[in-house]
Amino acid sequence: MSFIHKSDKLTCMRLRTFIALVTCRMIRRILHLFGRGGTNLPGTVALRIDKNLLKTLAEGVTAIAVTGTNGKTTTSHMIEQILIDAGYDVFTNRAGANLISGITATYVENATLGGRPIKSAAVIECDEAAFGAVSEAISPKVIVATNVFRDQLDRYGEVTHTLGKIRAGIANSPKATLCINADDSLITTLADNAEAEVVYYGVNVPIYKKRVHEISDAPYCVRCHGIYRYDYVTFGHLGGFYCPNCGYKRHEPDVFVTETVAMGSENTDVRMVIAGREYPVRINLPGGYNIYNACAAAAAGTAFGVEAETIVHALGHFTGGFGRMEKFTVDGTEMRMILIKNPTACNQVLNFLSNIEEPVAFSIVLNDRDADSTDISWIWDVDFEQIAKMGDHLKALYLSGTRAEEMAMRLKYADVPVGKMKIIKDDVKLIEACAESSYPVYLMPTYTAMIDLRRMLTKRYGLKAFWH
């Protein structure tokens, strides 16, 4: 309307932002009051009220965005610790709230009612499909692209489609420094036409003594469709790839691991080159795939301007994320929760578990709800045969979830002795059975199974609510 002055328009905009902000907070508080965290509702409603809310709130916040199929959460936790240790006031999105709605709600929680940021830095884990819009709104200073693997096919489609989504996000923030996994022949193509600075990271040596059997998600050269050869493979399609046909090959990394010194059940020791100098680095999480996450975090730290010594220190004491090797005790039994979400991630978990040489018990909780992937055929692409090869180390295997029977069938085909398997559909009874074990228990739930288990553990055993 023409009779509205420019200054009135500005006030209208501010009012809109204010209403969106307050509504978002109110819905969030109410949901928490009823014990419901981690939903998309507050952010979705807030964006309905003010579609520019995230962009407005992101002004004045220097962000690092982390995207890619696997490793986002752990890498984000590592970067958060690096920034904290470097003296930044930093916030991050928790509880897998990695779509634009969850990220918006996170920025709302970290802003004044006037829409000004409370903290100066943010580490934002972002879903690949949402990355285009998020990247445009938050204009990150640094973008970390971890890897691209075949994920829930019914949701993402092929790996090239996922790659396209990440590419769109990078195009929306052309000035951002890119941290690129040099060992992933798919991810490296993101740097091909990059205008901004690129920091490559990678692992220069094989990670595992024995590896699970895996199908490569990227066997063919991106340039000429020839078949890649490898000097070494770390896992999946990652490693020292080269194309004998056209010469396309792994880019020399700037941040890299030169040696895996020790792979324990609590942490991993490596030697890592950061800013041209080699350091002994203790990564405060077990599992070979976390070596990549540590490299990614170190690359992001250097791109942000943090000193190498600070990065090394932070990697030694950060704490793991929600369901990422998260450790807790129930009635004296030590448990670790590890989210399983796609064949590659699951194979990496098995790479770690099958190398354990002490007696252990496992529990796999397979759901088939939307957020898990309704198509559970992916379990046939996972090398569960490794579990059978563990022999006497594996003492018991508890199965649960909406598709526990199919999981039992898959394990039976893998030659896991039927006598070791037990289906317990009730979460409470499942945890009680696990707690009776005199061995450490590794719980491997799919996403919604993890949310349910976590909620029950919080209520019954007083575990910290996951949205805190």
Query: Which amino acids are annotated catalytic?
Result: 375
Contact 311, 280 (CB under 8 A): no
Nearest partner of 184 among 258, 289, 260, judged by Cα: 289
- The minimum distance between CB 245 and Zn ion, in angstroms, equals 5
Candidate segments 19-27, 125-133, 196-204, 225-233, binder of Zn ion by CB under 5 A: 225-233
Q: Which lies closer to Zn ion via its Cβ, residue 238 or residue 411?
A: 238
Candidate segments 11-19, 69-77, 217-225, 364-372, binder of Zn ion by CB under 5 A: 217-225
Handedness of CA 144, 198, 243, 207 (dihedral sign): negative
Task: Identify the residue among 14, 49, 136, 226 touching Zn ion (CB under 5 A).
Answer: 226
- The minimum distance between CB 248 and Zn ion, in angstroms, equals 5
- Give the C-alpha distances (Å, rounded to integers) separating 100 from 45, 124, 173: 12, 11, 16
- The four Cα atoms 86, 91, 94, 97 give a dihedral, to 10 degrees, of -130
Helix (H, G, I), strand (E, B) or coil at 107: helix
Task: Identify the residue among 25, 155, 223, 389 touching Zn ion (CB under 5 A).
Answer: 223
- The minimum distance between CB 233 and Zn ion, in angstroms, equals 18
Total residues in contact with Zn ion, by rule CB under 5 A? 8
- The minimum distance between CB 407 and Zn ion, in angstroms, equals 39
Tokens of 392: 């006497």
> Quick one: which H or E segment has residue 257?
strand 255-263
Kindly state whether residue 186 participates in binding Zn ion, applying the rule CB under 5 A.
Answer: no
Tokens of 409: 């069938």
- Give the C-alpha distances (Å, rounded to integers) separating 381 from 216, 378, 434: 11, 5, 27
Candidate segments 182-190, 216-224, 349-357, 440-448, binder of Zn ion by CB under 5 A: 216-224
Q: Which lies closer to Zn ion via its Cβ, residue 223 or residue 393?
A: 223
Show the binding pattern over residues 240-259: x = contacts Zn ion (CB under 5 A), - = does not. Answer: ---x-xx-x-----------
Task: Identify the residue among 15, 215, 224, 428 touching Zn ion (CB under 5 A).
Answer: 224
- The minimum distance between CB 162 and Zn ion, in angstroms, equals 21
Q: Which lies closer to Zn ion via its Cβ, residue 226 or residue 440?
A: 226
Amino acid at 466: F
Residues 366-395 that bind Zn ion (CB under 5 A): none
- The four Cα atoms 108, 110, 116, 121 give a dihedral, to 10 degrees, of -120
Phi and psi at 6, nearest 5°, equal -60, -45
Q: Which lies closer to Zn ion via its Cβ, residue 235 or residue 248?
A: 248
> Quick one: which H or E segment has residue 303?
helix 289-304
Q: Which lies closer to Zn ion via its Cβ, residue 113 or residue 246?
A: 246
Report the interface residues with Zn ion, using CB under 5 A: 221, 223-224, 226, 243, 245-246, 248
